[in-house]
Amino acid sequence: MTNLTIAYQGEPGAYSEIAALRLGRPLPCSSFEEVFSAVEERRADFAVIPMENSLGGSIHRNYDLLLEHPVMIAAETFVKVEHCLLGLPGSSLEMAGRVLSHPQALAQCRNFFRTHPNLHEEAAYDTAGSAKMIAEEKDRSKLAIASKRAGELYGLDILRENLQDEEWNITRFFCITHSEHPGSIEDIPAYGTGQYKTSIAFTLPNQQGSLFKALATMALRDIDLTKIESRPFRQKAFEYLFHVDVIGHRDDAPIQHALSHLQEFATMVRVFGSYGVVAP
């Protein structure tokens, strides 16, 4: 483990902490806003923030926070979500009545609840937080859905593994740092595997064909788009912000030329960074 301090949202044992452990010493935070503030105020060298899940889609609040804070993307990493059913030693599915977890985790385990009608879902603020609550309350009638690591940290038994409905349940995390005082991530052993990506946000004039023109700046230069998503632009009603991920580095000539062309007619362009992958 490096000496880097890595902020994340959640309790120890959260999937975000698993991502943070790949980079350095985890610093738990109670909210995503606190995570961004920890980077902005230099209390953390980096932070890991979940951006999208292969089943649940994008986490829109974090896309908004990227624009609101002076941060840049330094890396990305992927965590496979493997939900476990956890309980106090001696607990069982037969004696339990309620299962606690984050609402998204509960939604990812519909098949399990369908085959166990005696178990009722109860939303909690965090997957690992639900495990922590059960450990503190010492109530065998409650179970939690969280990571295997959460069970180990809070002394809970694993009653079932791989509860999620789909095998391909993966969360993509951005590793962010201060844009004006960036930390150094190159010394992390598994950093930089695979191709570089560049993430961009832009707004366009409300004119016919403006989005076509924006995408053409990249298509004409054979730049591969891996993601495009629109979000309401908070500064003006019924106008939209576009988030785009492309293969390549911002210093590559095709991307440089595409950005220069885009800036000629876009009303705003923000490059969040070019980055590699931190492997498990």
The domain that holds 240 is classified in CATH as 3.30.70.260
Domain membership flag for residue 225: yes
267 counts as catalytic: no
pLDDT in tens, the chain (280 residues): 678 999 999 999 999 999 999 999 999 999 999 999 999 999 999 999 999 998 888 999 999 999 999 999 999 999 999 999 999 999 999 999 999 999 999 999 999 999 999 999 999 989 999 999 999 999 999 999 999 999 999 999 999 999 999 888 999 999 999 999 888 887 777 777 778 999 999 999 888 899 999 999 999 999 999 999 998 876 666 678 999 999 999 999 999 999 999 999 999 999 999 999 998 8
> 46 with 97, same domain?
no
What is the pTM assigned to this prediction?
A: 0.92
Dihedral, CA of residue 219, residue 221, residue 223 and residue 228, to nearest 10: -30
Give the CATH number of the domain where residue 150 resides: 3.40.190.10
Domain that holds residue 98: 84-160
The number of residues making up the chain comes to 280
Q: Which of 127, 171, 177, 198 is catalytic?
A: 171
- The first and second tokens of residue 228, run together, are 């495009």
- The first and second tokens of residue 114, run together, are 């369908």
> 216 with 156, same domain?
no
> 58 with 176, same domain?
yes
Domain membership flag for residue 275: yes
> 74 with 203, same domain?
no
Cα–Cα distances (Å) from 44 to 33, 133, 172, 173, 177, in that order, read 13, 27, 20, 16, 8
203 counts as catalytic: no
Q: Which of 32, 173, 202, 242 is catalytic?
A: 173
